C-alpha cells in the first residue's frame, strides 16, 4: 500500500508538468480552435533558455529559490515573446484560411524547431544545471516527498491560480473569453482580436516554459527533441480534461501523470507511452467533450 502512495506522489508531481503544458494547448484551442502542435517545442525552448541563462549568469553556483525564480522569469519571458512571434509569423497570415491550413503549419513549426534546435544547440543531450538541491522534506512511513516535487506542484498550482485570475478577473481575460465565445461578434464590439490572440499565445507559451524549467529540475537532461512526447501527451491531457477548459487541462494533466506512473509501476514501462493514446481513444469514444468540457459554453 505504501508503494502505491509513493507511486501516487510520483505521478502527481509528474502530472503537474503535463498540466502546465496542457493549459497552453487548451487556451489556444479556446480562442483560435487551433491545436498548436508546436507547443511541445515551446516547452523545449523554455528548458533550453533556462539551461543557457543559468550557465551564462552562473546560477548553478548559487542554487536556491532566487536562482530558480530568475531562471523561471527569464525562460517565461523569452517563451512568451517566442509564442507571440510564432503566432505572428506562422498563424496570423492564415487567420482566414481553412482550419486544416494552420494545423499543418503548426506541425511544420514543430518540425522546424526540432531540427533548428539540433542545428543550433547540437543533438547531444545537455545536463541541466542544478538550481535546487534535492532533499526529502516530508515522510509518511515509507512514502517520501522531495522538495523538488513540492516545488513542481507549488509552482504549477500557483501558475494555475494566477492564470484563472487573469482569465476571469481582468480586462484582457474578459476579451479572451469574448473572442473564444464568438470571434466575429467580439471584433464588432471593438475587441482587438489580433492583440488578444497574441496575448493568449504569450500566456500559454510562458506556462510551457515554466514546465520546461520544472522538468529540468527533477529530470536534468535537456535536448532538442525533448518536447515531442510531452507535447503529444499534454495534448491528450487537454482532450481528456475537455479541450478549451482550464480546470479540465489541469485535471487531465495530473490524471495523465498518475496513469503513466501507475502503468510503469504495476504493468510495464513499455506501456507507459501507450496508455496516453489508449486514454485518448477511450475518451473520444465515451465522452468526446472531455471530463470537464461542456457544450462550448465556458471556454478559455
Partner 1 sequence: MKLRDVSRARLAGITPGVVLGLALALFACGGGGDRNVIKVGEFASLTGNTATFGQSSHKGSVLAFEEVNQAGGLLGKKVELESEDDQSKPEEARTAVLKLIRQDGAVAILGEVASSRSLAAAPEAQRAHVPMVSPASTNPQVTQVGDYIFRACFIDPVQGGTMARFAYQDLGVRRAAVLVDVKNDYSVGLADFFVKTFQQLGGQVVARESYSEGDIEFRAQLTKIRETDPQAIFVPGYYTEVGLIAQQARELGITVPLLGGDGWDSPVTLQIGKDAVNGAYFSNHYAADDPSERVQGFITKFRQRWEGETPDAMAVLGYDAARMLADAIQRAGSTDPQKIRDALAATKDFPGVSGNITMDAERNARKPVVILKIEDGKVHFVKALEP
Which residues of the chain form contacts with partner 1 (CB under 8 A)? 3, 6-7, 10-11, 14, 118, 122-125, 127, 130, 134, 136, 144, 146, 148, 215, 219-221, 223, 226, 260-266, 268-270, 272-273
Q: Cα–Cα–Cα angle for 249, 243, 11, nearest 5°? A: 30
Nearer to partner 1, 171 or 270 (CB): 270
134-144 burial code (b ≥16 CB/10 A, e <16): eeeeeeeeebe
Give least dist CB 281 to partner 1, A.
Answer: 21
Cβ neighbours, 10 Å, residue 191: 17
Nearer to partner 1, 62 or 95 (CB): 62
Nearer to partner 1, 114 or 146 (CB): 146
In eight-state DSSP terms, residue 5 is H
Q: What is the distance between the alpha carbons of residues 253 and 235, in angstroms, rounded to a whole number? A: 9
Q: Which residue has the cell 510503469?
A: 264
Give least dist CB 270 to partner 1, A.
Answer: 6
Q: Which of 257, 158, 156, 255 has its CA nearest to residue 213?
A: 156
Q: Tell me if 47 sits within 8 A of 213, measured CB to CB.
A: yes
Nearer to partner 1, 62 or 99 (CB): 62
Q: Tell me if 205 sits within 8 A of 83, measured CB to CB.
A: yes
Nearer to partner 1, 94 or 150 (CB): 150
Nearer to partner 1, 87 or 260 (CB): 260
| Alpha-helical regions (H) of the chain | 2-32, 39-56, 65-86, 100-121, 147-169, 171-181, 183-188, 193-218, 228-241, 246-262, 272-286
Query: How far is residue 191 CA from its own chain's centroid?
Result: 27
Give least dist CB 291 to partner 1, A.
Answer: 23
Nearer to partner 1, 94 or 225 (CB): 225
Query: How far is residue 36 CA from its own chain's centroid?
Result: 11
Give least dist CB 23 to partner 1, A.
Answer: 20
Give least dist CB 72 to partner 1, A.
Answer: 19
Give least dist CB 259 to partner 1, A.
Answer: 11
Give least dist CB 78 to partner 1, A.
Answer: 22
Amino acid at each position: 500500500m505504501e508503494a502505491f502512495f509513493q507511486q501516487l506522489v510520483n505521478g502527481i508531481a509528474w502530472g503537474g508538468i503535463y498540466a502546465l503544458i496542457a493549459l497552453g494547448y487548451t487556451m489556444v484551442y479556446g480562442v483560435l480552435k487551433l491545436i498548436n502542435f508546436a507547443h511541445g517545442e515551446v516547452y523545449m525552448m523554455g528548458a533550453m533558455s533556462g539551461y543557457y541563462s543559468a550557465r551564462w549568469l552562473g546560477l548553478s553556483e548559487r542554487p536556491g529559490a532566487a536562482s530558480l525564480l530568475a531562471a523561471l522569469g527569464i525562460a517565461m519571458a523569452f517563451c512568451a515573446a517566442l509564442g507571440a512571434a510564432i503566432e505572428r509569423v506562422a498563424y496570423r497570415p492564415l487567420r482566414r484560411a481553412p482550419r486544416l491550413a494552420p494545423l499543418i503549419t503548426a506541425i511544420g513549426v514543430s518540425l522546424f524547431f526540432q531540427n533548428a534546435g539540433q542545428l543550433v544547440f547540437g543533438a547531444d543531450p545537455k545536463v541541466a544545471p542544478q538550481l535546487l538541491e534535492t532533499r526529502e522534506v516530508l515522510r509518511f512511513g515509507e512514502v517520501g516527498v522531495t522538495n523538488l516535487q513540492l516545488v513542481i506542484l507549488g509552482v504549477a498550482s500557483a501558475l494555475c491560480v494566477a492564470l484563472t485570475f487573469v482569465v476571469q478577473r481582468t480586462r484582457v481575460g474578459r476579451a479572451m473569453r469574448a473572442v473564444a465565445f464568438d470571434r466575429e461578434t467580439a471584433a464588432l464590439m471593438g475587441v482587438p482580436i489580433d492583440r488578444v490572440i497574441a496575448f493568449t499565445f504569450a500566456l500559454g507559451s510562458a506556462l510551457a516554459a515554466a514546465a520546461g524549467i520544472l522538468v529540468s529540475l527533477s529530470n536534468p537532461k535537456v535536448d532538442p527533441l525533448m518536447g515531442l512526447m510531452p507535447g503529444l501527451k499534454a495534448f491528450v491531457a487537454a482532450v481528456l480534461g475537455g479541450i478549451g477548459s482550464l480546470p479540465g487541462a489541469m485535471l487531465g494533466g495530473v490524471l495523465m501523470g498518475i496513469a503513466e506512473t501507475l502503468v510503469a509501476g504495476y504493468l510495464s514501462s513499455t506501456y507507459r507511452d501507450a496508455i496516453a493514446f489508449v486514454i485518448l481513444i477511450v475518451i473520444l469514444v465515451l465522452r468526446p467533450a472531455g471530463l470537464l468540457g461542456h457544450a462550448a459554453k465556458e471556454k478559455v
